[in-house]
Structure 1
Amino acid sequence: MLKVNAQQVARKNAEDWRSFFSLIEEKKEGKLPKWFRPRPPGYWKDENGKYKLIFIIRNDRYEVNESERTIYLKDFKLSLRFKGKLKWCGKLGRLEIHYDDARKARYAHIPVEVESTVESRGSLRASVDLGIVNLATVYVEDGKWYIFKGGGVLSRYEYYGKRTSEVQKVLARHGQRRGRKLKLLYDKRRGFLKHALNSMVRKIMEELGQKGVSEVVIGYPREISRNHGNKLTVNFWNYSYVVKRFEEIGEELGIKIVRVNESYTSKSCSLCGEAHESGRIKRGLFRCPRMGKVINADLNGAINILHIPESLGSGSGGQLPVRDRGNGPKARPVVHLWTNGAGWVLLAPTSYEAMKMKAVNHEPMIRPKGTLAL
């Protein structure tokens, strides 16, 4: 190993230790959950416990030729070809080459430092309520709202889950627990989910940026995996990753991201500002007992999330104060649906009243056995 490479390994190790000590300080200051315990850094291992092969190169000891798609390692006089293209232009950071044992391939990771000069185009505020049936419900102050349906993403996710279960059964019959095919399926499921969520966040932020939104408030369910996590909320949803992507794209587009605790937003009514334990009457609907009106439950949560920063320190005991809702939500939400071929596509506009009545009057369909329903 060359001296410059050894120095980079030592520097990366020192960064991990500094992160560990900073977590200890945050733990003492009460900024972390009570159940969270910082652990000292260990060996670089993957999820199966195998040691990870990482090759680290200092930023001045390599060159990237985008036209020829090569990375030249100066100390080794070695030229490596790569696939893909560079997304950012700026100061290149430390190069890390990781080996994927399942795919039998190597991946290069290069951080790029760029200057953010983008400024927001307006002064509107928006909020995002994350969920499962509706992956994201977005509400803007001008009354427009968006729904990103999660059925297509969840269906594909469950498909990979069934495939992994079948492979696990085959491995179990041979007395094995791990295999290359199993790891490839896990990687495909993880990659698909990241792609779907990344494209959703990108579409949301670009749409809000064009509307002149300068601040986005995101509801973050703290300790969800600790208190009421299940297969969907823990395995399917990685809230911290999604919120981080919102922050990264927001920095790119000049939009401020505010992360808030979404407690009481599902029980509180955005129409009257009071909390109602029995407000959720049907799947996806919230009824205000005081005003007798019905509103989409996710939209109700998104409106409440938008006004959380306004109610902080109000001494309301968790309830949101009565507020002026302005023009209110528009009658027709902008609905996006995930398709495996085209990604997120825009559905034909549907009136909100039609959606509400369909949800209220919905009854399960009883089909005769042996018939094919198209």
Structure 2
Amino acid sequence: MKRTNVVKLIINKNTHEKLKELAILTAKCWNEVNWLRTQQFKKGERVDFAKTEKEVYKKYKQVLKVNAQQVARKNAEDWRSFFSLIEEKKEGKLPKWFKPKPPGYWKDKNGKYKLIIVIRNDRYEVDENKRVIYLKDFKLALKFKGKLKWHGKQGRLEIVYDEARRSWYAHIPVEVENTAENKGNLRASVDLGIVNLATVYVEDGSWYIFKGGSVLSQYEYYGKRVSEVQKVLARHGQRRGKSLKLLYDKRRRFLKHALNSMVREIMEELKEKGVSEVVIGYPKEISRNHGNKLTVNFWNYSYVIKRFEDIGEELGIKVVSVNEAYTSKTCSLCGEAHEGGRVRRGLFKCPRMGKVINADLNGAINILHIPESLGSGSGGQLPVRDRGNGLKAQPVVYRWTSGAGWVIPASYEVMRMKAVNHKPMIRPEVTLALQGGEEVRIP
């Protein structure tokens, strides 16, 4: 499996200028080969990867050496991904509104180059003991901070300049041998949201909630800070500034850290329980439906699902992502879709059976069985069946803390959150639900 070590480089002003010069030459090489291929594409011609690569290599080999070839090949990878998306679009695998776009240029509208240096896998060496990366073609020794987490056969090195933090970072990809074994046979599902970042359901009836309150509060705090800085800049006739870039960067890194930690916690817990497959609900139209701006901005579903896949590969757990359409209005108790089933915040009531269930849990249970209903012609209605071994009444609830990450509250006050035993077609005399922190009877 492929993994990437990212380390911060420690360089002086002179080395910074050398790296910047190489990065600008790399960007020019990328832009030129990309332009040649774009022209062929616009004319309806076959994009000739070999010919265009040879053309730019001949021009840039004196300054970028063999690495000019790697720039052209990296660009070719993006073009092939673009063509794959076109094919998926034709086959109806992508949303109707989605329009694949060809690779862009490494230069913004203000004429500023994207600073990336591409180095072939055999043209650099990493001395982990001395913490130095040697660039053979440019006679540069770059010191770095930190330790390498992953070890294996090294791939193409990319050195990237982070403008917000004004620092260079080396991205060192390696091919790691995967020795993970998983003898479990349980399946689990994940419903992603905002109030509850993730609701996880396992076939054995256990379920987990990762509360989003503290993460969302911190995210909104950064949003307010961004607005304040934007107002100050506007008073001086400016739109951009270092402080603004740093705030955006801090918010991005905070959210990335919280979500990464959550995914890791979920997958390791599921591995311990003997789960071999995880089904994740993906809101297919989320980027198109801008009704909830916070949801669109807060969640990068593609990134989170990729993290589930990467960690799943590492732990030997299969990860499947499915379109979660209809899961919020379909009852996991009877398998039928009900408009207005969400009776109050956080609860779903089945009109047919009179039972109440946690709404996010209801969605997670439905997500688990989506693959079984594909191609069934049910028109979005999930099949009626016994969904698992019955629920454990109380979930395991995690909350985010800035110091300790995801933890289970010592007081466990959220344990009052109940779920019905949801074996189908069993009508209880009363149903319990939570209202204002107390249990009440629902007629």
- Could you state the TM-score of these two structures normalised by the residue count of structure 2? 0.78
Deviating above 4 A after TM superposition, structure 1's stretches of 4 or more consecutive aligned residues are 45-49, 350-358
Does structure 2 conserve the Cα–Cα contact (< 8 Å) formed by 1:283 and 1:359?
Answer: no
Q: Return the offset for 1:87.
A: 1.4
Q: Return the offset for 1:76.
A: 2.3
Structure 1 gaps of 5+ residues are: 364-374
**Which range is displaced more, 240-249 or 221-230?**
221-230
1:13-162 equivalences under 5 Å are 13-45=75-107, 50-162=112-224
1:361 maps to which residue? Answer: 436
Does structure 2 conserve the Cα–Cα contact (< 8 Å) formed by 1:218 and 1:257?
Answer: yes
1:11 maps to which residue? Answer: 73
Distance 2:230 2:249 in 1: 15
2:316 maps to which residue? Answer: 254
**Secondary structure of 2:348's match?**
strand
The letter for the 1-side match of 2:174 is V
2:255 counterpart of 1:193: yes
Does structure 2 conserve the Cα–Cα contact (< 8 Å) formed by 1:331 and 1:353?
Answer: no
2:27 maps to which residue? Answer: none
Does structure 2 conserve the Cα–Cα contact (< 8 Å) formed by 1:221 and 1:263?
Answer: yes
Does structure 2 conserve the Cα–Cα contact (< 8 Å) formed by 1:332 and 1:350?
Answer: no
Distance 1:51 1:309 in 2: 45
The 1:215/1:47 distance shift into structure 2, 3 A limit, reads: farther
Q: Return the offset for 1:353.
A: 5.1
The letter for the 2-side match of 1:225 is S
Q: Return the offset for 1:47.
A: 10
The 1:73/1:147 distance shift into structure 2, 3 A limit, reads: same
The letter for the 1-side match of 2:281 is G
Q: Return the offset for 1:115.
A: 2.4
Selected match of 1:286 from 312, 328, 348: 348
The 1:297/1:335 distance shift into structure 2, 3 A limit, reads: same
Using the aligned pairs only, state the percent identity. 82
Q: Return the offset for 1:350.
A: 5.1
Selected match of 2:297 from 219, 235, 259: 235
Q: In terms of Rg, which structure is larger?
A: 2
1:170-249 equivalences under 5 Å are 170-249=232-311
Distance 1:290 1:20 in 2: 47
The letter for the 2-side match of 1:166 is E
- 1:72-117: per-residue Cα shift (whole Å, max 9, x none)? 1122222111112111111111111111222221011111112222
The 1:354/1:238 distance shift into structure 2, 3 A limit, reads: closer
Q: Return the offset for 1:19.
A: 1.9
- 1:235-290: per-residue Cα shift (whole Å, max 9, x none)? 00111111111111111111111111111111111111111112111100111122
**Secondary structure of 2:386's match?**
coil
Does structure 2 conserve the Cα–Cα contact (< 8 Å) formed by 1:274 and 1:319?
Answer: yes
- The count of corresponding residues between Structure 1 and Structure 2 is 363
The letter for the 1-side match of 2:65 is K
**Secondary structure of 1:64's match?**
strand
Does structure 1 conserve the Cα–Cα contact (< 8 Å) formed by 2:394 and 2:418?
Answer: no
Q: Return the offset for 1:157.
A: 0.2
The letter for the 1-side match of 2:332 is S
Distance 1:71 1:325 in 2: 54
**Which range is displaced more, 164-173 or 347-356?**
347-356
The letter for the 1-side match of 2:115 is L
1:366 maps to which residue? Answer: none
The letter for the 2-side match of 1:219 is G
**Which range is displaced more, 95-104 or 36-45?**
36-45
The 1:135/1:30 distance shift into structure 2, 3 A limit, reads: same
**Secondary structure of 2:133's match?**
strand
1:371 maps to which residue? Answer: none
- Could you state the TM-score of these two structures normalised by the residue count of structure 1? 0.92
- 1:186-209: per-residue Cα shift (whole Å, max 9, x none)? 011011111100000000001001
The letter for the 2-side match of 1:41 is P
Q: Return the offset for 1:63.
A: 0.8
- 1:8-37: per-residue Cα shift (whole Å, max 9, x none)? 212212222222222222222222222222
2:404 counterpart of 1:342: yes
The letter for the 2-side match of 1:184 is L
**Secondary structure of 2:280's match?**
strand
2:230 maps to which residue? Answer: 168
2:42 maps to which residue? Answer: none
Q: Return the offset for 1:213.
A: 0.3
The 1:312/1:23 distance shift into structure 2, 3 A limit, reads: closer
Structure 2 gaps of 5+ residues are: 1-62, 420-431, 439-443
